[in-house]
Structure formats: structure tokens, C-alpha cells
Chain A
């Protein structure tokens, strides 16, 4: 199945998604990778308010290449980064915030339980950065530029961002884990 969703995402929006479905997203998405995840968790511990809202949010694991021009920020290329690096920080983040979707590549280990009943993992084809940049229509804001360009939180307005593949659905079905298991079995046979 193919779905076209608008942010902020409601739980109903993602309940219908099954692992293997194709999704396109329009609206706002926020980039966050290692450093941003660490800071979100740190601020949570100190009970400090975030400068952006994660309610119904879509987090994009991406360290974009963005150029500052006379007319503002211009996205040059913005493909997904390896989600596996954020595996440990994601369950506490999902516990604290109603993030409805995570976009990344390569899948994540040990997050299916944390996603269950609240969020989905959407796989965007790794390296497709020029295509992604075309689908990002505007840089709406940037937070935490002190972390550097790739690690800052960029608020992006996207149109029909995709194709995204539902890698882990709300019921906890995880294609990456299934493929990994099959590959392991095949390896043992050889």
C-alpha cells in the first residue's frame, strides 16, 4: 500500500501502516542525530523546555549539507544517516515525547518495543540526498547551530518526502530484524 501523510502525525495516521508499505510525508520534519539526541535527553533530565515541539513530530536522522545564501538557508543535499547510532538514545526519547515517526536508514536494534503502539520507523533510501533536497521546500528554522551544521536541529518543510518504506510498524513488525535473522540462518548454512 502507498500512503500520503501530513504532519503533525496523529496516532490514527500511523496505525494503518504495515511494514513494507510505502509512505510520502508532507509538512514539517526535524533533523536530529547523535548530538541532538543527547541534548534532548539531557534537557529532559534537567526539566528544561525544548525550543521546538516534538508532539506528533517526525524526526529525520540526517546531517544535512546546507548553504547560507543571501536569501537564507539553502539545502544542498540531505540524505539519511545511519540510524543504528541512535538506537540507545531512542527509547528514552520516545518515552518522553510523542514522536510519531522516525525517518532514517539501516534500521535500529532494540527499538521495536519502544516504538510499539506509538511510533513507526520509516526507511529512506541511504544516500539519496539530492532527491531529498528537491523535496525539501524550505528551511523553517534551525536550533542548536553550536553543535555544527550536521548535528544541529533543522526544521524543514517537505512536500511528498519519500519514497519511505515502513521498516518497523506500530505493531512491532521489524523488516530489518527479519532480514537479519534470515541472513544469519543462511550464513550458518554456508
Chain B
């Protein structure tokens, strides 16, 4: 049995998903920026937050990318064990990226890491970066989350000793102070604690997809308040809004280990999802 979906319509849907992701932000992110603008008392920061909101309006209206760094293409896919498309999904996603790059258009950002030669179409070895998770059911959910270099470059990972849980907050704050205005605050800060070296980084990245309007608990709130007390503000020019939210995800880890990853996201927390298959 195969799920009724044509390869062509799948590619079309993924290319459309990329356009949506690049040209408009999810409502919860826009609302968080609006709330920051309303609460901000620093004049310079307020001016910039208004520019961001105006920029978002223009991008959505003209369906053009909100940022010229259209990122590298990252997908999170949850595939139902009963979902059988009958074609190579990865190859189709790749084709959709090439199509979207020409069509939207997107800036070709994918280069060979050593020769720095640009592939010209946002694909290459390991790009698009697709994270697969098998889940029960007959649906496929694909989330696109293109990530720009400004914020990604300021992200950090550290392997702590197991007794150093008390140092996690300071590590995050140091990362944010060191980053200053470079990753385009106001930020969403994704923190992955535990797992392994690579799992911590993935957890940190996944946590950037969490809704910004959900309440922050415990360590999230503690770090959030400390980050905003730093006064780095919008674009590092001062103010009370350095972070829009802090999200923490944890996983069990080796008893001798404590990996901690901080994935920084600029204000343009771009992500959107599309569903395939199932009953609807």
C-alpha cells in the first residue's frame, strides 16, 4: 500500500513551504516581537524593533525573503511508520530546494567547506540537512527551518564534568555576552542539555521550534531573566530585549558526561510545517 501523493505535488508543497518560511514568521514569533516593541523603553531599540516589524510587513506583502541570509536548508521530518510515498523523499526534498532557490529566489549559501566552492543551488553534501524521526501513524510532517549564519556562528557547545550542572547558566550567559549584537537580537535561545556531543546540539536546535508564547519554567525563566538583565538589547545597541524566549530540552546522558549546547536564533525565527497523508 502506498500513500496517495504524487512526487510532483510533494515537491510543489515543499517549495511552497520554503517560500512561506522565508517570507513570513509564525504568529507567535511576530507577537513576541510586537510585545517587545511595546515594552521597550530604550529609544534606539524601539526604533529598530519597529524597523523589524515594518520589514516583516513588506516581506509578507511582496512575498520576498525577510532576510538576505536565506540560510542553509534544515528540515525536521516526522514520518509515520504507515506512510509509504512510493518515491525517494530525500531526493524530492532536494529537488524542491533547487526549485525554491531559483523561484523565490533564495541566496545560494551552500559551499564546500574546504574549497568554499558554491554549489549554486543550496544543495550539496549533507545539504539539505534532514532530521528523520519515525513516529506511529500514516502521516508525514515536514518542518522547514532555514538557519542563517549570523546566529549559527555565535552558537556554542561545551562538554562539562558531570558535577558542573551549576555552571550551565553562566556558560549560556557568557555565550550571549560574547555574541553581543552579532547574532541579531532579540534572540530565541535554544539549549540542549544531556544526550551525547551531537544529540545536545540537535536538542538545542529542536528547542528553537517550540512556541514562544508557551510559559517558561525553571531554568528557562532563570536564564531568560538573566540574559535580559545583561542590557545587550536589540542588535547589541542596548535595551531590555536581548531574548524573546529561552527554551531548554534535555536527554539522559552518560554518567560521566554533561554535554551542553546553546543554539542561538536571531529574531527571524523562521519555521513552518506541512502535513502529508493520513485521513484528511
Binding site for B on A (CB under 8 A): 20, 22, 62-65, 67, 76-79, 81-82, 84, 105-107, 123, 125-134, 148-150, 163, 165, 167, 175-176, 178-180, 182-184, 186-187, 190
Contacts and interface: CB of A to CB of B under 8 A. Distances in A.
Contacts of A134: 58
Interface residues of B, number: 52
A117 B78 CA distance: 57
A125 B67 contact: no
B237 A190 contact: no
A65 B101 CA distance: 11
A95 B150 CA distance: 28
Given A20-B44, A127-B55, A180-B177, A65 B70 contact: yes
Of listed A77, A78, A125, residue having the most chain B CB within 10 A = A77
Contact of A187 (B55, B66, B181, B230): B230
A108 B76 CA distance: 35
Contacts of B180: 106-107, 176, 179-180, 183
A186 B118 contact: no
Given A67-B105, A105-B181, A79 B68 contact: yes
A130 B59 contact: yes
B65 A65 contact: yes
A150 B148 CA distance: 14
Nearest to B66: A130
6 contacts: A76-B105, A126-B67, A131-B55, A163-B47, A178-B238, A182-B231
B237 A82 contact: no
A6 B107 CA distance: 30
A76 B107 CA distance: 10
A53 to B, nearest CB: 25
Interface in B177-221: 177, 180-184
Contacts of B226: 190
Given A186-B230, A190-B170, A126 B266 contact: yes
B235 A105 contact: yes
A130 B181 contact: no
A25 to B, nearest CB: 15
Contacts, number: 162
Contact of B58 (A65, A127, A130): A130
Interface of B: 43-44, 47-48, 51-52, 54-56, 58-59, 62, 64-70, 105-108, 118, 148-150, 153, 169-170, 173-174, 177, 180-184, 226, 229-238, 266-268
A125 B52 contact: yes
Nearest to A67: B105
Nearest to A2: B47
B47 A175 contact: no
A113 to B, nearest CB: 19
- Which of A64, A129, A180 counts the most B-chain CB atoms under 10 A from its CB? A129
A57 B266 CA distance: 30
B177 A130 contact: no
Given A65-B107, A78-B68, A179 B231 contact: yes
A123 B44 CA distance: 11
Given A175-B237, A176-B236, A180-B177, A127 B66 contact: yes
B238 A179 contact: yes
Contact of A82 (B182, B230, B232): B182
B182 A148 contact: no
B195 to A, nearest CB: 26
